[in-house]
């Protein structure tokens, strides 16, 4: 078994437990004790799930980008499994971020969707991830598939700073960053659950990445074992 997989198996529980504690306390503070917003009222509570989903989607793509560079440098198949896992999880969180954002937009902007710079660039991120996953499905040769997918992910990384800074670069309907170099524009009662949920989701993403990487690695290992078994039978006949 790969040394990286052994390490993942050794430490994954800590990340899972950490994520559980942070998310449970974040949910308690966010849904039970934090105050409603003066203008938005109760719907501000969607922030505690929408922002972590969106941030985790960006984190997933950042991991995919770094993993792709790492793969092109070392050509380690386990790193390719990790990139594949990050893309799948990233697509899940991107869809979650878009749906929760849309639900939040209806009571605050009175529309489910608008072609705003932040929303559009975030939707583009989803299409890049879907493209990445489709590319992996179309190529049969494992080495070629990993290489082309890594190059695709590196090129697609250009969208990430656009998503992040879109609220600064253009005048958009989406609110600007609540935590930036200019300071805080959020009440402390809301900041604590938001931070807890963000940390919890980052830990959860790391845990999910560890689990999914193992899953993809084991699927590959099993295929290789069965392939070898088949080749032995063919040789015997």
Partner 1 sequence: MKNLYIRWVGILLGGIIIVLLSMWRYYQEVMTIPPEQLLREQPARTVRVQGTVKAGSLMKGKTGGVTFHLIGEKEGIEVRYAGEAPDNVRELSSLVVVGSWDPSTREFTAHQISLRPNYGFVVAAYVISFVPLSLFLFRMERSVALLYNEVKQETVYKEEWQGE
Binding stretches for partner 1 (CB under 8 A): 20, 24, 27-28, 31-32, 36, 39-43, 45-46, 49-50, 53, 92, 96, 99-100, 103-104, 106-107, 208, 211-212, 214-215, 218-219, 221-222, 225-226, 228-229, 232, 236
Alpha helices in the chain (DSSP H): 3-28, 47-74, 77-109, 117-138, 142-156, 159-169, 188-236
Residue (44 or 152) nearer to partner 1, CB: 44
Distance between CA atoms of 24 and 97, rounded to whole angstroms? 19
CB of 207 to partner 1, least distance (A): 8
CB of 126 to partner 1, least distance (A): 15
The strand pair at 183-184 and 179-180 is best described as antiparallel
CB of 79 to partner 1, least distance (A): 18
For 118, counting Cβ atoms within 10 Å of its Cβ (0-12 exposed, 13-18 middle, 19+ buried), the class is buried
From residue 120, how far is each of 20, 114, 173 by CA, in Å? 32, 8, 12
What DSSP designation does 35 have? P
CB of 170 to partner 1, least distance (A): 26
Residue (18 or 20) nearer to partner 1, CB: 20
CB of 162 to partner 1, least distance (A): 24
Residue (89 or 149) nearer to partner 1, CB: 89
Residue (55 or 212) nearer to partner 1, CB: 212
Residue (152 or 200) nearer to partner 1, CB: 200
Q: Going by C-beta distance under 8 Å and a sequence separation of 6 or more, which residues neighbour residue 211?
A: 12
CB of 180 to partner 1, least distance (A): 24
Handedness of CA 81, 87, 88, 90 (dihedral sign): positive
Residue (102 or 178) nearer to partner 1, CB: 102
């Amino acid at each position: 078994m790969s040394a990286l997989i052994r390490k993942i198996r050794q430490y994954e529980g800590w990340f899972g437990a950490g994520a559980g504690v942070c998310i449970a306390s974040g949910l308690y503070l966010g849904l039970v004790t934090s105050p409603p917003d003066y203008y938005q009222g109760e719907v501000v509570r969607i922030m505690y799930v929408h922002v972590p989903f969106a941030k985790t989607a960006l984190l997933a793509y950042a991991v995919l980008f770094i993993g792709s560079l790492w793969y092109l440098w070392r050509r380690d198949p386990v790193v390719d499994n990790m990139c594949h896992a990050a893309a799948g999880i990233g697509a899940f969180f991107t869809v979650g971020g878009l749906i929760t954002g849309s639900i939040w937009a209806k009571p605050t902007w009175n529309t489910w969707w608008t072609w705003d710079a932040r929303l559009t660039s975030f939707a583009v991120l989803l299409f890049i991830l879907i493209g990445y996953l489709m590319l992996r499905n179309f190529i049969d040769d494992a080495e070629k598939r990993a290489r082309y997918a890594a190059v695709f992910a590196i090129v697609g990384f250009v969208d990430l700073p656009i998503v992040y800074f879109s609220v600064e670069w253009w005048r958009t309907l989406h609110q600007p960053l609540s935590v930036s170099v200019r300071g805080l524009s959020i009440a402390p009662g809301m900041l604590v659950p938001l931070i807890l949920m963000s940390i919890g989701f980052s830990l959860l993403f790391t845990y999910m990445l560890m689990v999914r990487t193992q899953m993809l690695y084991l699927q590959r290992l099993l295929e290789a074992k069965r392939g070898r078994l088949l080749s032995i039978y063919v040789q015997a006949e």
